[in-house]
Amino acid sequence: MQKTTALVAAGLVGLSWSASLLAEDDFITLASTTSTESSGLFGAIIPAFTDTTGIEVHVVAVGTGQAFEIARRGDADSLLVHDTAGEEQFVANGYATERQNVMYNDFVLVGPSDDPAGISDSESAAEAFALIAESESPFASRGDDSGTNRAELRLWEDAGVTPQGEWYRELGSGMGQTLNTAAGMNAYTFTDRATWVAFENPQDLTILFEGDEALFNQYGSLLLSTENNPHLKHDLATQWHEWLLSSEGQQAIADFEVNGQQLFFPNAE
């Protein structure tokens, strides 16, 4: 029957089409942060790594807290995040065997260009945070246990402020979403410079405070332990980890620019 033949043909086409979805084996899954992905860093450096080694890198970009969780569950082969304290704890807990500095950039405080809290003349980040709390100017926080969120909370602590009240909005969102919301509310927010520079919807927001040492933002690469997760592609992940630290990898990071501006500064030892 024609109908049956057509059905079988359709089934075969569908099957072969589905088969194209099955990925090749030579890849690692990298859990990393939204800042590195949405700034375009990975898009720029991974092709160089793949050219050298033939290994593809599948980046799952999430908040640092979720990235740790993904790695803990054995769903990622490698981890590149920015929460040094958390990373060291992760090593101490035995989930990773090694942690290395890869690169850094810095956090900045952005807010409405008329700066209602007057933070642009602050001496320190802590003072800037204290001024925002004092004037109760709207502040949008990521509130998602990401590396940026953790850094922000440490700064409130330094300022001796427990952020709460109408003015402090915890969004539970990624960096980009938080910037969109802050722009919409004309609120202050705390962001890594890379995401900020690549962000295209700033509206009235502008950088109001930067340059304090406390705003230093260190990224680290972790070599995950295969003890609990023997299925991890440890050899491939090691190649990636070592490439990031190699002069070739470090140069690729240094070469990455958005709008003529370097966003990440390699600092592997």
Q: At 88, which helix (H) or strand (E)?
A: helix 84-92
User: Minimum Å distance from CB 211 to other proteins?
Assistant: 24
Q: Which is closer to other proteins, CB of 118 or CB of 202?
A: 202
Secondary structure (3-state) at 103: strand
Q: Is 75 in the site for other proteins (CB under 8 A)?
A: yes
Name residues whose C-beta falls within 8 Å of residue 268's C-beta, 6 or more positions apart in sequence: 100, 101, 102, 103, 244, 245, 249, 250
Whole-number Cα distances in Å, 29 to 56, 69, 74, 163, 227: 9, 14, 10, 36, 18
User: Minimum Å distance from CB 134 to other proteins?
Assistant: 29
Q: Which is closer to other proteins, CB of 60 or CB of 161?
A: 60
Q: Is 117 in the site for other proteins (CB under 8 A)?
A: no
Q: Is 51 in the site for other proteins (CB under 8 A)?
A: no
| Choices 72-80, 137-145, 157-165, 247-255 (CB under 8 A): range interacting with other proteins | 72-80
Q: At what angle do helices 147-158 and 64-72 cross, to 10 degrees?
A: 130
Q: Which is closer to other proteins, CB of 53 or CB of 177?
A: 177
Q: Is 19 in the site for other proteins (CB under 8 A)?
A: no
Tokens of 250: 């470090």
Residue of 23, 51, 123, 213 interacting with other proteins (CB under 8 A): 23
Tokens of 58: 């599948």
Tokens of 124: 């320190």
Residue of 130, 179, 223, 237 interacting with other proteins (CB under 8 A): 179
DSSP assignment of 51-72 = HHH--EEEEEEE-HHHHHHHHH
Q: Which is closer to other proteins, CB of 72 or CB of 234?
A: 72
Q: Which residues bind other proteins (CB under 8 A)?
A: 14, 17-18, 20-23, 29, 34, 37-38, 42-43, 58-62, 72-75, 174-177, 179-180, 183, 198-202, 229, 231
